[in-house]
Chains A and B, each alone.
Chain A
């Protein structure tokens, strides 16, 4: 009886809470207003930004070994909705537990078990960095920890995941390479580029297993602005093609890479970096984007969270949301109290679609595609070809493939990407 009263009361209160929130969501997600982190399906949290991160970035990695369901929900159950510090603390605790499991298996020589738990531990340390401000000392410490564990897990793979560094303007860009097979034969290769908020590890969990299984070598890096590069004074810049070219210079000589079949795939802001790199580097033989960013400044100008992100406005946001946006600004060397400055900081983050001769695929989640500016930019990219070798795929909401970069359905995303690449790189 007690339980039944509880259920009724909970339902009533939940409805009272949810209805105004849902109404507000509908208004906010209107076509004119671009929200990169809009969650088109609710996962767990009422805070939209936290729910997006939990559902798409974290849970979405389950397919590729980044997270276990039970661990994710046990962690989520302890997190205070919308609270950045609580998120960071709870994921850090889970990271330590997974790490201890991995080390225990490794000590006893159980390599498969060790690899699996260490990979998740690496990801959980990484996830604990979400919504962390640029000057937080834990950023360097935990970023390092996440990378060490990935490298440790990488040694337990066959072929191993190799860590490498690309000398670049007085520092190095850290990266990972994994061959599809150990035989050293030249094969198709995917160079994976992240966006405005990624670490190289994210990209491993985004798509590496899918690439390897299909016989593609996999490469990813932290470009300036990504990972912990801002701690070394390396921020996002309008000529992102320059560091990408340095990466290609570094790896192109490897015997495992078939020079005729090197593809680049960029997600999020990387949807601008990848085609820009291909515009300047004809060694990139195919380009995939999710989605295409022909001009980042114009796209960001429609993102209301950035336009309105004054300190007074952000003080009314959840700490998770506000700090996520501030953290991103830091990657462009924009001060946290001048988030609207991100728009101007993206001036020149563009490319000329007509200059790209390689075939190009843009994959966009239906939810994201509902934004007018996103649609306009896809049109610019796809129609700006003289050769007719470009394709746009909008992945359906009804198949759970609607969010930013389709992170919540990586099997479906990979099907679209690789089935297209298989033909483009024949």
Chain B
């Protein structure tokens, strides 16, 4: 017993020592390299990419009903660290289990129970798609299930979630709308714009329940490049303002949307798309960016993908490799040419001087530690023509340090809506 204890103590000491050494190594590296998926707090996995997806994207959605703690950890316990196929298989299994529960509750007319389990089932199918390659035969089916479950759950809400299709250049953008309250009384409206990896479902779980609780209508769509749109050949293009303006047209056609109180909020790459659409656009009454991306290409040039030659990529975990390949696909870049993402992001920029709507820039402390992020934030804050503009850096010590502050949506919601409430009076 005594021997075992002392061996344990020695191991623990050695472990802590190496941990401190490694933490310093990674901190030193973080200053220069832009890594949107850097987990500034460790959740479960050693693979950083997987840990970010698990902690920020999935666990972070718990307060919005996208995840249950026990389910997430039971799934995580079965996933092989860093392994894409294991991640996908385990989330698919958990999605099916939650779906069965939801169906059972629905068959028994227990609507609240059904809605809650179906919402989680929707999000677990979505979780399974992280790191799923574009040519994976399961991709379409899994995305379809995720969306269908979201809409089924949405039927059990009051008011319901409406599935919307918004015309764009001869095609359609799919989206979700939910009214703040019954009736057609015009209400404040939040349009949420996602980034380079989002599905409309991510955006629902990012903030929709918080919007409803505060009396805001909520609208989000899959812009070209998002969701499954790349399967139709639609990829991200430098002019993201055109599809967003089409979303504005749609929103303003609704009698329940108050024209004087319309806000657009962009996260991740959407932190560049949203302000681009706000340039010379008087219909947007308030703009939120998390964070502000004035010019995407120089940022991408500082990410790991910029130097991700096939030899480098061969050293990555399958989860990291495939997650990044999925992003390339969305920009129309060959998945075996990740450095091509830098060139593909040329022209994804906006001119802050042409944005005059009141603007809020949110940056998590973890991201703000990066030079390039600081540079872009300064360009943005200095350049915005807005008479009313504000920068909020959310603190690491409050667990609000990751990309888009996904791991603390209550705190993020507080910053966003407390500001919007004052701007959209």
| Given A74-B41, A419-B113, A409-B71 contact (CB < 8 Å) | yes
Within 8 A of B (CB), among A84-113: 94, 97-98, 101, 105, 108, 110, 112-113
Residues of A in contact with B (beta carbons under 8 Å apart): 2-3, 6-7, 9-11, 13-14, 16-17, 20, 41-43, 55, 59-60, 62-63, 65, 68-75, 77, 94, 97-98, 101, 105, 108, 110, 112-113, 116-117, 120, 210, 213-214, 397-403, 406, 408-412, 414-415, 418-419, 422
Contacts of A65 in B (CB 8 A): 63, 410
CB neighbors of A among B91-109 (8 A): 94, 97-98, 101, 105, 108
**Interface residue? B12 (CB, 8 A):** yes
Output the least CB separation between B102 and chain A (Å): 9
Number of residues on chain B facing chain A (CB within 8 A): 66
Segment among B258-266, B272-280, B320-328, B394-402 that sits at the interface with chain A: B394-402
Neighbour of B117 across the interface among A20, A62, A101, A411, CB < 8 A: A411
Asked if B405 is an interface residue, CB under 8 A from chain A, the answer is yes
List residues of B whose CB falls within 8 A of some A CB.
4, 8, 11-12, 14-15, 18-19, 21-22, 25-26, 29, 41-43, 46, 55, 59-60, 62-63, 65, 68-75, 77, 94, 97-98, 101, 105, 108, 110, 112-113, 116-117, 120, 210, 213-214, 396-402, 405, 407-411, 413-414, 417-418, 421-422
Q: In the assembled complex, how far is the CB of residue B113 from the closest CB belonging to chain A, in whole angstroms?
A: 4
Q: Are A13 and B11 in contact (CB under 8 A)?
A: yes
Inter-subunit contact A74/B396 (CB<8 Å): yes
CB atoms of B101 and A112 under 8 A apart: no
Q: Are A415 and B43 in contact (CB under 8 A)?
A: no
A124 to chain B, nearest CB (A): 11
- Chain B residue at minimal CB-CB distance from A400: B70
Which of B22, B43, B73, B401 lies at the interface centre, i.e. has the most chain A CB atoms within 10 A of its CB?
A: B73
Residues of chain A within 8 A (CB-CB) of B42 are: 73, 77
By a CB distance below 8 angstroms, the chain A residues around B398 are 70-71, 74, 94, 97-98, 101
Task: Name the residue of chain A whose CB is nearest to the CB of B21.
Answer: A6
Given contacts A6-B18, A6-B21, A16-B11, contact A69 B74 (CB under 8 A): no
Task: Flag if A68 contacts B418 (CB, 8 Å).
Answer: no
B18 touches A42 (CB 8 A): no
A13-B15, A41-B70, A63-B62 in contact; A68/B411 too (CB < 8 A)?
A: yes
Residues of A close to B62: CB separation below 8 A? 62-63, 69
Identify 10 residue pairs between A and B in the complex whose beta-carbon atoms are under 8 Å apart, listed by A's number. A10-B22, A13-B15, A20-B4, A68-B411, A70-B41, A70-B399, A74-B398, A112-B210, A400-B70, A409-B70
Residues of A within 8 A of B72 (CB): 400
A69 proximity list for chain B (CB < 8 A): 55, 59-60, 62-63, 399, 407-408
Minimum CB–CB distance from A285 to chain B (whole Å) comes to 19
Chain B residues within an 8 Å CB radius of A98 = 398
Report the Cα distance A115→B111, complex, angstroms. 26
B18 touches A63 (CB 8 A): no
CB of A101 within 8 A of CB of B411, answer yes
Q: How far in angstroms is the closest Cβ of chain A from B397? A: 6
Query: In the complex, how many angstroms separate the beta carbon of B349 from the nearest chain A beta carbon?
Result: 30
Are the C-beta atoms of B110 and A415 separated by less than 8 Å?
yes
In the complex, residue of chain B having the shortest beta-carbon distance to the beta carbon of A4? B315
Assess the A415–B397 pair: CB atoms within 8 A: no
- Taking a contact as CB atoms under 8 Å apart, the answer to whether A110 and B18 are in contact is no
CA distance A418 to B110 in the complex (A): 8
Inter-subunit contact A75/B399 (CB<8 Å): yes
Most chain B beta-carbon neighbours within 10 Å: one of A110, A120, A422: A110
The 9 closest A-B pairs by CB, nearest first: A400-B70, A70-B399, A70-B408, A400-B74, A409-B70, A74-B399, A408-B70, A70-B407, A6-B22
* CA of A117 to CA of B134, assembled, Å: 40
With beta carbons under 8 angstroms apart, the residue of A16, A105, A397, A411 that contacts B414 is A105
Structural contact, A409 and B418, CB atoms closer than 8 A: no
User: Are A71 and B408 closer than 8 Å at their CB atoms?
Assistant: yes
Asked whether, in the complex, the Cβ of A10 is within 8 Å of the Cβ of B25, the reply is no
